[in-house]
Amino acid sequence: MPTDITVLDAAGLPRTRFRKTRIGLVAGGLAAYWPQFPGLLEQLQGSAREVGERFSGKGCEVVDVGFVSDAQEAAGAADRLRAADCDLIVTFLTTYLTASMVLPIAQRSQAPVLVIDLQPTASMDHAAFDTGKWLAYCGQCPLPEIANVFRRAGIPFRSVSGHLRDDDAWKRIDRWIRAADVRAAMRHGRHGLMGHLYPGMLDVSTDLTLVSAQFGSHVEVLEVDDLRVRVAEVTEQQINERVAVARKVFTFDESVLDEDLRWGAKVSVGLDRLVDDFALDSLAYYHRGLDGELHERLGAGMILGASLLTARGIPAAGEFELRTSLAMLMADRLGAGGSFTELQALNFEDNVVEMGHDGPAHLAISSADPLLRGLGVYHGKRGWGVSVEFDVQHGPVTTFGLGQETDGTYTVIASEGEVVPGPLLRIGNTTSRVDFGCDPGEWTDTWSASGIGHHWALCVGHRAKDLQAVADLLDLPFVHVKV
């Protein structure tokens, strides 16, 4: 990526370090087999160790509660997993076992369960195999049984079948690990909400209780004065250091005025302190202000600092757009970036939807070094200063946002397209030309009817399957917009 972690590290702004995804692991088989087929248990335990090592190699914290052989041992494993507060529990079916050994894990552990059955190799050596050797390959045998029992117990069922070195199976398992990481970010997240609603944007209005109720997150309500007192304490040396960071990260347009740049740098340092002091994982903000007074200048001076925060893994969204800042955090944890975005125009000659936004952007997904442009006025907002301009990396992208239904339920909404080259506005906005493979007007109608709000996150890569897994673990409806 043009502005990646290495660049930010070199500029003195490393990415935020996150809590590791905590994966609970339990493997099992049927106790009746062990005296009948000597060596089978040891073989299956070896497979379980290999799976555990593979999870650890993915950077996860693995809580391995061992190998269970009957329902009593499974109940004990469930209690240990519950105490570990896992983000995802993986139950490894090494051979046939009864549903009574899996059900208590799903019922008591208070975490979503992924059932996997990975046989030793891609196929059996039929001529050389006896019953004992075959039993190491029949982990899929109890899968329909377990699925049936989960359904009757009202427990979500998800599974991956394959073999130990099956790249496709591990890609599907990786998808659930990434989704578990997002779930963890939401369960433990602290989200700042500073200022007030952009007047009249009813769709942006968010019930803070629902954020906690549906995600487990905490919303920290902030005043612009919380930022003001921290900006006031920023020294000239700190401003100079942040200007130097900006010069490493951005290309400067000749329109950038030194006074505006230094103000943006000062606010950026104050924003970093605000985020640290309140231990924030994301931030949504808006303040209107009046006639150039200090609070207006603070609101207008946030774009530089908010963009740097977003690139470091702490997404910041303007216009008080809490749901979109949450979507941006989820996208970032998937490794997809996630830049603050809205509709800008339709190009029926090139068959593209032009989308982006003024204000903060995810610098790590820019197609080239991001540009810092000076603006004498922000459209629809008070104030003036420096703004970020770039085009998202060309290639596959996903639009992703959080909608909300009549009963308050959040929905995960996504659509896949491709950013293509072509002419762009040069007005201090992020702008990308997205081809959804259909008439841009039809896509816009279908997207708008999905329940999406005014804003969303533009992510790199085709992420619909990842987001479907995220929705599954968060127990939210998933809407895949296709035309």
* Six-digit token string for 257: 């005025």
Report the DSSP pairing between strands 337-347 and 218-222.
unpaired
* Six-digit token string for 273: 């302190």
Type and span of the H or E element at 326:
helix 322-333
Report the DSSP pairing between strands 429-435 and 456-460.
unpaired
Buried b (16+ CB within 10 A) or exposed e, 208-234: eeebeebbebebbebebebbeebbeeb
* Long-range contacts of 366-369, Cβ-Cβ distance < 8 Å, separation of 24 or more: 366/1, 366/2, 366/3, 366/390, 366/391, 366/392, 366/393, 367/2, 367/391, 367/392, 367/393, 367/394, 367/419, 368/2, 369/2, 369/3, 369/249, 369/250, 369/251
Q: List the chain residues with pLDDT less than 50.
A: 1-6
Question: Residue 439, CB half-sphere, CA atoms under 13 Å: how many?
Answer: 4
Task: Give the model's pLDDT for residue 9.
Answer: 58
- Is the CB of residue 6 less than 8 Å from the CB of residue 252? no
Q: Please state which CATH number belongs to domain 22-186.
A: 3.40.50.10940
CATH 3.40.50.10940 placement within the chain:
22-186
For residue 149, the Cα-to-chain-centroid distance in whole angstroms is 31
End-to-end Cα, the chain, rounded Å = 30
For the domain made up of 7-14+188-480, the CATH class stated in words is alpha beta
CATH 3.20.14 placement within the chain:
7-14+188-480
Distance in angstroms (rounded) separating the CA atoms of residues 250 and 254: 12
* Six-digit token string for 260: 């505006």
Task: Give the model's pLDDT for residue 376.
Answer: 67
Residues 6+ apart with CB under 8 A from 229: none
- Is the CB of residue 156 less than 8 Å from the CB of residue 477? no
Beta bridge partners of 109: none
- Is the CB of residue 430 less than 8 Å from the CB of residue 413? no
